[in-house]
């Protein structure tokens, strides 16, 4: 009888704990939207080896510490690549620390033909007036 009572008490405590923890909601959950990143700078090697992987590093920033690094979109061909980095904008109602957030996007590529490759990085230019615009940073790579 005692073992059954102990098991029931443990089960009841587990249910209460699960319900109690389920009530704790992260105020930042599901309150983000992907936005094309504001790019600060880009690092691309000058020369790469055909079909060998190399890294393109993109440094971006968000206007406050609630922003998070987002995904990267990659498209193009064997020698011409388009990269669009995204950062995630906090669109919730909570307060955010007012400091610039810095993110590092690392995209691994391999170009498939010798010659000159082009890497276009699409990014957003912030405007104080609120009318952000899109721009492209282009880097060329010698593929040996």
CB atoms within 10 A of CB 66: 20
> pTM, whole model, 2 decimals?
0.77
E strand spans, the chain: 32-36, 38-43, 47-48, 54-62, 68-76, 80-90, 101-109, 115-125, 133-143
Per-residue pLDDT of the chain (144 residues; tens, 9 = 90+): 566 655 565 655 454 444 443 333 455 466 899 999 999 999 999 999 999 999 999 999 999 999 999 999 999 988 999 999 999 999 888 888 999 999 999 999 999 999 999 999 999 998 877 788 999 999 999 999
Q: How far apart are CA 84 and CA 72, in angstroms?
A: 6
Q: How far apart are CA 38 and CA 126, in angstroms?
A: 7
Paired residues of 32 in beta bridges: 90
Report domain extents, the chain.
32-143
């Amino acid at each position: 009888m005692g073992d059954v009572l102990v098991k029931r008490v443990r089960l009841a405590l587990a249910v209460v704990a699960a319900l109690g923890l389920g009530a704790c909601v992260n105020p930042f959950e599901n309150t983000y939207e992907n936005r094309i990143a504001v790019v600060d700078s880009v690092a691309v090697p000058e020369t790469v080896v055909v079909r060998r992987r190399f890294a393109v590093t993109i440094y971006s920033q968000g206007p406050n510490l609630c922003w998070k690094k987002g995904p990267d979109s990659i498209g193009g061909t064997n020698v011409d690549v388009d990269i669009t980095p995204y950062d995630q904008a906090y669109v919730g109602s909570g307060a955010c620390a007012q400091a610039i957030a810095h993110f590092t996007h690392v995209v691994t590529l391999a170009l498939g033909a010798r010659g000159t490759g082009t890497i276009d990085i699409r990014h957003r230019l912030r405007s104080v007036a609120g009318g952000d615009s899109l721009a492209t940073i282009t880097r060329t790579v010698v593929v040996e």
